[in-house]
Amino acid sequence: MCGRFTLNLAPAVLQEWFDIIEGVDYPPRFNIAPTQPVIVIADQEKLRRAILMRWGLVPMWVKDPREFPLIINARTETLPEKPAFKGGLRHHRCIIPASGYYEWRKGADGKKQPYYITLKDSEPMAFAGVYSTWMGPDGEEIDTTAIITLSANKDIRHIHERMPALIGKSQIDDWLNVRGVNEKEAYAMLRALPEGKLDWHPVSTRINSVQNDDLHLLDVVSEARPETPKKPVSKQMDLF
C-alpha cells in the first residue's frame, strides 16, 4: 500500500514537469497522510489543473461519507471491477505528484522499520490515481482521491509487497486523456517499474506520527530512533 508520501518540489518545477496551466502555491511537505488535502493533477474542461482534494476516496453514490470506509489506495487487481473505482478508471483519472514515499518493513521481532523510497534519477514521481466528486444533500461538493497500487518490483519487495503505480512522463498525457484513451488502454499503463529504478533508505520512526512534518524525516538512520512524546497538534484539515 501507500500510506505516506512527500512533496517538496518547487511550485515552478511542478508546473513545468506536469504541464499544468498555472502554478500552485504550497509549502514543502514531508509527511503527507490520509484524510489530508493533497495536490491532484487532472484534465478538466480541456485544461490541465492542479486541484486540492482529500486523500481518501468517497464515490459519488455514497449517501453519508462518515459511514463509508476510508479508501486511500485502489488495487490494480480489482480496479476495473469494483464499483468504487471502475467509474474513475474510465472518467476520472488523475496524477498525484510526489517527491518520494514511505513504506514499512516488518522485522522478525515484529517491529516495523520505515523506509523512504525515491526514483534514482531524483525525478518527480507521478502516482496514478482516480478521483470522485461527492455531492451532499445541501449541494456541497468534496473532491476526493485514491492512489492506485500494484505488486512491488524486485527492488523493494523485501520492504513491502505493494507500491504505487507510477506513470512515466511520456505517458502522463495519455493517462489523463479520459476522452481519447479508454479504460482498457489506460489500465495497460499500470505496470511495475523495471528493476534498478528506485533508491531507498531507512528513516526514523518519527514518521509514524502525523504531527512530525520536517526535512529531517528524510535523514538516513541505521535503526529506528524513539522520539520524545509531544503534545499532539493536529495539522490535518477536516473536509467532512
| Structural domain spans, the chain | 4-100+121-195
Amino acid at 35: T
Query: Quick one: pLDDT at residue 104?
Result: 97
**Among residues 103, 140, 195, 223, which one is catalytic?**
103
Q: Torsions phi, psi of 106, nearest 5?
A: -85, 125
Q: Torsions phi, psi of 15, nearest 5?
A: -60, -45
Kindly tell me if the per-residue pLDDT of 238 is higher than 60.
no
Write the pLDDT tens digit of every residue in 182-201.
999 999 999 989 999 999 99
Q: Which three cell numbers stand for residue 215?
A: 526535512
> What CATH number has the domain spanning 4-100+121-195?
3.90.1680.10
103 is annotated as an active-site residue: yes
Query: Quick one: pLDDT at residue 230?
Result: 53
User: 149 and 142 in contact (C-beta within 8 Å)?
Assistant: no
This prediction's pTM:
0.90
